Amino acid sequence: MGKKQKQKQKVTLPPALPPDVPDEDIVPSDEDVEFVDKNPAYASFVSRLDTQSITKHVNRVANAKEDDLEALYEKRLRRKTLENEEKKGIEVDRVDALPIKTLDGQLYYKTVEKEAKKPETSDKEDESDEDKGAFKLTKAERRAKLKKKKKDEKKQAKEPVKTEEEPKDPQSEVLAEVREDLTAAEVAETKQHKIAELGTALLEDPEANIKSLKELLSFCNDDDKAIAKAALLSSLVVFRDIIPGYRIRLPTEKEQEMVVSKAVKKLRYFETTLLLSYKAYLQRLISLQPLPEYNRVAVRCLCTLLDAHPHFNFRENVIPAVVKSLASADDVVRKLCSTTIQSLFKNEGKHGGEATIESVQLIADLVKIRNCQLHPESIEVFLALSFDEDLARSKKAEDDEKRKNKKYKKGKKSEEQVQTAVSDKKRSKKELLSKTRDEVNADYKAASLALDEKERRRLQSRTLSAVFNTYFRILKHTIQPDATRFKANATASGASLGGHPLLSSCLKGLGMFSHLIDIDFMADLMKHLKILASGTNLGNSDSSLTVSERIDCCIVAFKVMRKNLDALNVDLQDFFIQLYNLILEYRTERDQGEILAEALKIMLCDDRQHDMQRAAAFIKRLASSSLCFGSAESMAALVTAKNLLQKNFKCRYMLENDVGGGSVSGSVAKYQPYGSDPHLSGALSSVLWELNLLSKHYHPTVSAMASSISKINTSSNQVYMPTVSPQQAYNELLLEKEQFSIKSDIKLSNKRKRGNPNLLGEDESSLEVDEEALRKKLSEHYTVVHDIVENEKLRRELGLTTLSLQVHEEYKKVKKIKQEGSKQKKRKQ
């Protein structure tokens, strides 16, 4: 007992543990850091520690009780002893193998695994029996026995081959296929449920569940197309909702080394994972865009992301992908891209105008690469741009600021003169207030993505130059001869659309932005428009301009002239001549009536005064052409003719039936119905006999308009302002044409019906007309008339050429006579 008490007295208690302090609150002092930096060998043992095993042990034993720990250690020892007993084999003789000494000082000898006892073969038993027997086998008997053994071995080897070649049950194969299909459907359903769960979790709490975004994006690479599309669309919804309203800037290395709070760490982790996953998502979309199965889904995702967040990172990768799809043959894809780019142009407050200039320059490059062989929607997006109002506002703002600064300076000088005894404290306060106001204004501009006026003007000038470069490139492409255009289209990438698909939208844009064109380019623009309106130097192939496109060129020329009256002095007589000739070439079913009505309004109705000869020529041509036009086109032509008659008093003599077209004083030229120049047509010597036929037109509005024109008083000089424009008249009759139906108003007396019952049937049969025969006759008639007009033109050209040749020959003869006379004089001298 005494020994035990002494041992108890010797036992000392362990030192008390330090107080529990959380790891976050422990901050090393500067002295400790300097000591470790100077003495790296002092802390070298820390780098050699097995951190993985320590963390595993700590996690396992962290919250366990003492009894549980003892039970756990006992189980571990039992398991090790059992494993060692199982692994024990035959111990090798200690003389043959060297032992292994452990750190504990114990010796271990190598062991060999036990081999299972093999049963003795029957051959050995036979041999032992034979050996044990009294009689031994002869050589012949041994040979026969060996042959039998070989035969038996061959038979045993052939039997399993026969069993493998046996046909399988077809029912089992079908069942296996059905099981595979069922398992594939179940797997797809589980994947869809998983995608839905991940998407809802991200939308509920993005910062907490941001880790699941990578798992969601992993489904975008699935082999099943349906699952991949569902993952792409669900991730689109997630990104559209969780992307912040600012550009993310990743922290630098120095910023990462700094000690920050938990909230900052959490925000940095969220932003980095979001940005990296967004980059991977965009790369996947761009890689899937060329594939026809994923084309629509990929383009829809790119367009929605660009429309919702044009300010966010990787915009320079999204805009080229969207602009590239403008050249797609799919109408749905092209419409999506055009609407997205138009929304970019209209909502510049989201991106400050930088996305606008990027997209405009990319569209200009696309037109150049494809050699103007694109769908019109690709440059119709330019019509959504706005330049005039913004530039005017910026100029006004600059003027106002200059005035305010002048007033402020004057007021400041007067205050300094009056208040000379202002203290320094008040001045310092004013300076502080001005500085704070400037800082607040700068922060507000940065937050609202508002650019300075100078920067905004610079961006708008760049966009405007890119737009006009595109328009002028299209005009030059149309003026090219057929051979060069064919070569260019052959070298251009993509299928050729034929003709000039971008010309109509180009002319619309020029008409809209003509007030912003530089004056130095006006002469070249009007020259190109004259060539296009005349249709010369364009060849006679299928790529020549249509009547509607040529009329549109005349309209654009007038718009450019009217918006730049102060800077231009251009003679538009050539465009009047082209319109005068194009009215004859117009066909109702082939050409566009809206363009013709717009040309009549801009070129003839909007001008206050016209030359009398020109006005009379247009009145006569419109009246004669309205006999062949449709109801809407004829109504627009008659409205224009009425307007011209009301403005030009002397042209009203064409309504009289006297010989020579009325009492016009002076010599009157002979009327030429197919003349090319309105000034030389001699229309004043004609009579508007077409109004008598038009007053009996099948459409009541056309007949009423014709009768109202014929009733205009020729004696009064009063000018009547028109209430309806040609465009309004054309649109109204188009709407009425859908509900209008021709009714034959046949009034028969009751006596005829009673007296002759078959009379009604005879009248109905007489009213029936073969429309196809009439169409053929009318087409033949108009082809003959057209041929006559062309023959007359050719005869005129032949006459001019013959005259020029005769003049040239006479000039040669005179020149020869002069040369001979000079030679004779020299000889005499």
How far apart are the C-alpha atoms of 594 and 725, rounded to whole Å?
Answer: 12
Question: Exposed/middle/buried for 311, CB within 10 Å: 0-12, 13-18, 19+?
Answer: middle
The first and second tokens of residue 813, run together, are: 């003869």
In our burial notation (b when 16+ CB lie closer than 10 A, e otherwise), range 522-543 reads beebbebbbbbbbbeebeeeeb
Residues 6+ apart with CB under 8 A from 385: 345, 356, 360, 463, 467, 513
The stretch 538-556 carries a mean pLDDT of 78
Cβ contacts of residue 137 below 8 Å, gap of 6+?
130, 145
Quote helix, strand, coil % in the chain, to nearest 5: 70, 0, 30
Average pLDDT over residues 300-329: 93
571 and 615 in contact (C-beta within 8 Å)? no
The first and second tokens of residue 553, run together, are 């060129």
| Per-residue model confidence as pLDDT tens digits over 61-81 | 666 667 777 777 788 788 777
Beta bridge partners of 101: 107
Q: Confidence class of residue 391 from pLDDT cuts 50, 70 and 90? A: low
CA dihedral for 318, 319, 324, 329, sign (positive or negative): positive
Cβ atoms 99, 108 nearer than 8 A: yes
- Between 610 and 343, the more confident residue is 343
The tens digit of pLDDT for each residue in 438-460 reads: 776 766 655 555 566 778 888 88
Q: How many CA atoms lie within 13 A of 158 on its CB side?
A: 6
Query: 573-585 vs 612-625: helix axis angle to the nearest 10?
Result: 20
pLDDT range class, residue 625, cuts 50, 70, 90? very high
Residue 108 DSSP SS3: strand
**∠ CA(657), CA(660), CA(665), 5° rounding?**
110
Of 633, 671, 637, residue with least CA distance to 654: 671
Whole-angstrom distance, CA of residue 336 vs CA of residue 588:
33
Q: Is the pLDDT of residue 795 over 50?
A: yes
**Dihedrals phi, psi of 108, to nearest 5 degrees:** -125, 135
For residue 657, CA distances in Å to 84, 478, 688, 689 come to 132, 48, 9, 9
Q: What φ, ψ does residue 590 adopt, rounded to 5°?
A: -90, -40
DSSP label at 209? T
d(CA 691, CA 683) in angstroms, rounded, equals 15
Nearest alpha-carbon partner for 583 in 480, 726, 721: 726
Query: Is the separation of the CB atoms in 648 and 659 below 8 Å?
Result: no
Q: What per-residue confidence (pLDDT) applies to 407?
A: 52
367/472 Cα distance (integer angstroms) = 11
The whole-number pLDDT of residue 496 equals 47
Given a contact cutoff of 8 angstroms between Cβ atoms, the answer to whether 286 and 301 are in contact is no
Q: Which residues share a beta bridge with 668?
A: none
Could you please report the per-residue DSSP string of 115-135?
Answer: PPPPPPPHHHHHHHHHHHSSS
Distance (Å, whole) CA 799 – CA 809:
15
Q: What pLDDT is recorded for position 390? A: 52
Judge contact between 338 and 375, C-beta under 8 A: no
Dist. CA 692–CA 550, nearest whole Å: 32
**What pLDDT is stored for residue 89 in this prediction?**
55
DSSP state of 15: P
| pLDDT tens per residue across span 324-377 | 999 999 999 999 999 999 999 988 878 888 899 999 999 999 999 998 889 999
- The pTM score is 0.63
Q: Are the C-beta atoms of 360 and 466 separated by less than 8 Å?
A: yes
Higher pLDDT, 58 or 406: 58
The span from the CA of 688 to the CA of 658, in Å, is: 11
For all residues of the chain together, what is the average pLDDT?
Answer: 77
Joined tokens for residue 634: 């004829």
Residue 822 or residue 167, greater confidence: 822
Question: In which element (H, E) is residue 112 found?
Answer: strand 111-112
Between 748 and 54, the more confident residue is 54
- The terminus-to-terminus CA distance of the chain in angstroms comes to 172
Structure tokens at 761: 């049937």
Say if CB 603 and CB 554 are below 8 A apart.
Answer: yes
DSSP conformational letter for 99: -
CA proximity to 112, closest of 80, 95, 87: 87
In this prediction, residue 70 carries a pLDDT of 77
Q: Give the model's pLDDT for residue 366.
A: 94
170 vs 211: which has the higher pLDDT:
211
CA 748 to chain centre: 65
Indicate the pLDDT class of residue 823, thresholds 50, 70 and 90. confident
pLDDT at residue 414 above 70? Answer: no
User: How far, CA to CA in Å, does 123 sit from each of 5, 135, 146, 507?
Assistant: 78, 17, 11, 105
- Write out pLDDT tens, residues 147-206: 777 777 766 665 544 444 445 555 566 656 656 665 778 888 888 999 999 999 999 999
Contacts for 457-460: CB closer than 8 Å, 24+ residues apart: 457/391, 457/394, 459/353, 459/354, 459/356, 459/357, 460/353, 460/387, 460/390, 460/391
Q: Which of 258-267, 408-417, 540-549, 721-730 has the lowest mean pLDDT?
A: 408-417
Averaged over 47-74, what is the pLDDT? 71
Of 46-50, 193-197, 425-429, minimum mean pLDDT range: 425-429
